[in-house]
């Protein structure tokens, strides 16, 4: 069993492995970034560091402007990055042995590396390395 933070992008349920998460920040103050791509929600001051916040729904191509007041701060080897979601759920334990793989085309477009079925429904597992790769393409 592995632990995942569940969140929604529009009406789709996603899971983010908690090993990537440094902290969940409640109601941060966002600062506008001029000429930033649509998916760059802004930046926040996180413990004295400027951290960009990515609107994951906009990056994937979902419509809508609804965002949870909380953002997830990811501490990655190459950078610290924040993610904004439509809504943030709970941390749950999931058995990844039943994960269904996705085709490379779906994976690169939707930033998922697999799908799990649980009591919560179908959960798309976020592919963080693919997410970083897609951000580097801008």
Residue 97 has what DSSP assignment? G
Q: Tell me what pLDDT residue 64 has.
A: 73
Token code pair at residue 70: 């909380």
Q: Tell me what pLDDT residue 106 has.
A: 63
Q: How many domains does the chain have?
A: 1
The closest of 31, 135, 2 to 79, measured between CA atoms, is 135
- The CATH number covering residue 10 comes to 2.40.50.180
Which residues, 6 or more positions from 49, have their beta carbon under 8 angstroms from its beta carbon? 80
Q: Tell me what pLDDT residue 79 has.
A: 83
pTM higher than the cut 0.75: yes
Looking up tokens 């103050």 gives 29
Q: What is the block-wise mean pLDDT of the chain (138 residues), using blocks of 10 residues?
A: 94 94 95 92 94 93 86 90 94 91 72 89 92 78
Instruction: Using alpha carbons only, give the angle 115, 120, 80 rounded to the nearest 5 degrees.
Output: 60
Q: Tell me what pLDDT residue 137 has.
A: 62
Rounded Cα distance between 92 and 110, Å, is 22
Q: Tell me what pLDDT residue 85 has.
A: 94
Half-sphere exposure of 82 (CA within 13 A, CB side): 27
């Amino acid at each position: 069993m592995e632990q995942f933070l569940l969140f929604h992008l529009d009406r789709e349920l996603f899971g983010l492995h908690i090993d990537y998460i440094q902290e969940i920040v409640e109601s941060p103050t966002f600062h506008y970034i001029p000429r930033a791509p649509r998916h760059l929600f802004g930046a926040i001051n996180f413990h004295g560091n400027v951290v960009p916040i990515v609107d994951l729904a906009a990056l994937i191509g979902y419509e809508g402007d609804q965002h949870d007041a909380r953002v997830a701060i990811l501490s990655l080897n190459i950078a610290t990055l924040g993610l904004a979601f439509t809504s943030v759920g709970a941390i749950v334990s999931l058995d990844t042995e039943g994960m269904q793989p996705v085709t490379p085309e779906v994976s690169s477009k939707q930033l998922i590396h697999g799908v799990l079925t649980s009591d919560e429904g179908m959960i798309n597992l976020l592919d963080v390395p693919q997410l970083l790769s897609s951000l580097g393409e801008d």
